[in-house]
Structure 1
Amino acid sequence: MFDTLRACLRTLALLCVTGLSVPGLHAETGVSDTRIVIGQSAVFSGPARDFGVDYRAGIQLYLQRTNKQGGVFGRRIELVSHDDAYEPKRTADNTVTLIEQDRVFALIGYVATGNLIASLPIAEKAGVPMFAPMVGTTSFRTTHNRYLFHVRASYESELRKIIGHLATLGIHRIAAVYQDSAFGKSNLDTALKIAAGLNVQVVESVPLAIAATDAQPQVAALNKARPGAVLMIMAGRMVEVFIRDYRATGAAAPLYTISVGITDAPGSASRLQGGLQGVVTASIVPPPTLTRYAIVAEYQRDRAEFGEKIDSYNALEGYIVARVFVEGLRRAGRDLTRQGFIQAMERIGTFNIGDFPVTYGPGNHNGSHYVDLEMYLADGRLVR
């Protein structure tokens, strides 16, 4: 009898050390008495690296603030990040590693539509929450997934804001250049539907490769169609390539981009030598220097305190994302489980992060609806 009891106790101790679940005991993967481990796969190398680097910096910034204040119920939050170089296959592999080897509690801060397509089924099968991917693609919003939570507004909201603005100005003939990827094609379809509903004609649409260094054929095709405005449904350095070649032709139609178009505005402005002037962008967070917004003032306060040099829209978005995530952890209570976290998020209703509202419920994991339009100056600053 005593041998059996000793064996049971040894087995119980082993399970607790390795973090495996034991019926009747609280032992969630990625959660201990002192820490919560979360995981991220994002682009940290290559031409689109600014997305992942800045997004992670913002997330880490608020985690530093949280940990300095004692964490959540005494647990520090640790972020494990892996580079996927913007490649969906690597994102899928990283997701398996994060779940099976790093044994994270939740996934956070993924980047790009194709990468989310590749990784979400893996997370869902494992029952791991996936929080705030930098993705606004419509299909992820219209099909409810219990494990997926958004914070940023959808690309549909951004495109509706842009195309509605053009219609109000009386511009009813537009053209589009889109990223030759799942992200670009899906959001072109969304733009076409929105345009049709607003009596706006898309007179030409052309794809551009992610790694393109020359956009002259695309520019020629769009100029031939003589649109009243050009909508860029792209992300990262390829936007610079298109703007450079478009401006070189002397074309006068105004350029519009969604929020992920320009990630390094000062760098883009310098490389384009004034060519960024007048480009209009959708923004899904307030300007990161406009401290009359409480959320921005708090973000800048924490940047100063923790010495964070990165300062961008994507970094501010990451900071907001981490604040919403930590709020969900707090509401889930001391006995933290994945299912408890999901339920806590669904009970939030409408909640203000500073003065930035987000809304969640059992059938609504979409978060924010904030979208505004801003215009770039030649030096990369934005004005309204």
Structure 2
Amino acid sequence: MPFSLARAASSRVVRFGQSASLTGGQASYGKDVQNGIAAAFAAASASEGATGVRYELMTLDDGGERSRCLKNVLSLVDSGVTALIGLTSGAGAEACMPVVEDTQIAMLGTASGNMGIRSARASDAFHVRAGYDAEYRRMIAYAKDFGMQRVGVVYLGDTSKANLEAMTTALAAVGIEPKAAIAIDRNAASFDSVANELLAAKLDCTLFTANASPVAKIIDRMHQAKYPGLFYASSFAGQDLIDTLVAKRQSCVMSMVVPRPTAMGVGIVAHCQRDLALLNNGARLGITTLEGYRRGRAGCAQGRQPEPCAHEGIARRLAPGSRRLQGRVRRRHARLALCRPAGDRSLWEAGGVIATSALR
């Protein structure tokens, strides 16, 4: 079995590989996801020490670049990792799909709702969160509920066309045609021209599906220009956007994908905070570290199986009829989402989408 525990049977080490953006414009996001996974692995290794099972994470930096992510995945596969986990670039993960399919290594819990890795052809990608299609529908419904018709969309130019199609479909479903749709380079130094184009469109609502740095820069420029409309960012912006906007006392509604609250697992936030302390590296709790933690917990759940990352075993443990689990989609407008407990009765259960905002 190319991705079973047989790879590490002698030492009882279950070794996962990750390509993450540890530098560049997505560095905070990548480090948070990495810390969350590492915390879950550290806790599981400590609690299961008597059984001899140990979980290890090998992370390579891709700087948020698609080509570097592909290079890293090739290196990780060659190194003999049990599975891939928590890739932080949806575009990078999509570029890696031919390698993943060819080697039949499992790709678990990519930290993105990218629709390009959720097609029927992407049978080796297993998800622990809802896709952008579900998230975009909730974002659009929010704007529609408040009577907003002049909507603009800002998206990453290097991601799957399926993402833009999902957004366009969600808008069309409620009778909205975007007044502006702008592709951006996630690593660009300036976004003033983008902000100026959005301002010229006189929008009621600006929707973002991008990493935190460009979103924060565009919001800052439009805020200075006294933009009167609403900003709404997808979950990809992560904790970094919340921290940046709170520091500047600026506003943005933001969606987040979290586990469903259940009576069996309401302590996941407390567990994440506790286990982050095991890393002893100053990692702090936030929505992005929680995303990483959930992926780490999912990886540990697979590592306990006789054939931890064999496709057939994963498929059996997922909900009937679907590798891409759809969680209940919910929305809440609140100061912080982490004030609500969240659980993970099934670690292969996609979370619901909750909107929160950094309020002035």
Give the TM bin, normalised by the shorter chain. 0.7 to 0.9
CA shift at 1:357, angstroms?
Answer: 5.2
Q: Is the 8 A contact 1:212 1:241 kept in 2?
A: no
CA shift at 1:286, angstroms?
Answer: 6.5
2:106 equivalent to 1:129:
yes
Where does 1:219-298 land on structure 2 (aligned, <5 Å)? 219-265=195-241, 267-269=243-245, 273-274=248-249, 276=250, 278-285=251-258, 293-298=266-271
- Alignment-derived partner of residue 214 in structure 1: 190
Local SS of the residue matching 2:100 = helix
1:310 to 284, 301, 311: 284
The amino acid that maps onto 1:164 is A
2:109 equivalent to 1:139:
no
Structure 2 Cα separation of the partners of residues 296 and 27 of structure 1: 29
Local SS of the residue matching 1:96 = helix
Count of residues paired in the alignment? 335
1:374 to 349, 356, 360: 356
1:355 to 340, 343, 358: 343
CA shift at 1:37, angstroms?
Answer: 1.4
Structure 1 Cα separation of the partners of residues 55 and 351 of structure 2: 27
Structure 2 Cα separation of the partners of residues 181 and 282 of structure 1: 21
Which is further off, 126-135 or 55-64? 126-135
Residues 85 and 359 of structure 1: CA distance in aligned 2, closer, same or farther (over 3 Å): closer
Sequence identity (%): 23
Q: Specify the structure having the higher radius of gyration (Cα).
A: 1
The Cα RMSD (Å) is 2.8
- Alignment-derived partner of residue 321 in structure 1: 295
Local SS of the residue matching 1:36 = strand
1:93 to 71, 75, 82: 71
CA shift at 1:376, angstroms?
Answer: 0.7
Unaligned runs of at least 5 residues, structure 2: 320-324, 328-340
Local SS of the residue matching 1:166 = helix
Residues 228 and 27 of structure 1: CA distance in aligned 2, closer, same or farther (over 3 Å): closer
CA shift at 1:265, angstroms?
Answer: 4.1
Unaligned runs of at least 5 residues, structure 1: 1-19, 361-366, 379-384
Q: Is the 8 A contact 1:72 1:329 kept in 2?
A: no
Residues 87 and 259 of structure 1: CA distance in aligned 2, closer, same or farther (over 3 Å): same
Per the normalisation by structure 1, the TM-score is: 0.79
- Alignment-derived partner of residue 167 in structure 2: 191
CA shift at 1:306, angstroms?
Answer: 5.1
Structure 2 Cα separation of the partners of residues 85 and 216 of structure 1: 23
Residues 299 and 159 of structure 1: CA distance in aligned 2, closer, same or farther (over 3 Å): same
CA shift at 1:324, angstroms?
Answer: 1.6
Local SS of the residue matching 1:110 = coil
Structure 2 Cα separation of the partners of residues 72 and 84 of structure 1: 35
- Alignment-derived partner of residue 17 in structure 1: none
The amino acid that maps onto 1:198 is V
CA shift at 1:373, angstroms?
Answer: 0.8
The amino acid that maps onto 1:75 is V
Where does 1:144-183 land on structure 2 (aligned, <5 Å)? 144-183=121-160
- Alignment-derived partner of residue 5 in structure 1: none
- Alignment-derived partner of residue 345 in structure 1: 314
* Superimposed CA distance per residue, residues 25-52 of structure 1 (whole angstroms, 9 cap, x where no aligned partner): x972244343111111111111211121
Larger RCO (CA under 8 A, 6+ residues apart): 2
Residues 107 and 197 of structure 1: CA distance in aligned 2, closer, same or farther (over 3 Å): same
CA shift at 1:164, angstroms?
Answer: 0.8
Residues 359 and 188 of structure 1: CA distance in aligned 2, closer, same or farther (over 3 Å): same
- Alignment-derived partner of residue 333 in structure 2: none
Residues 31 and 122 of structure 1: CA distance in aligned 2, closer, same or farther (over 3 Å): farther
Structure 2 Cα separation of the partners of residues 114 and 283 of structure 1: 19
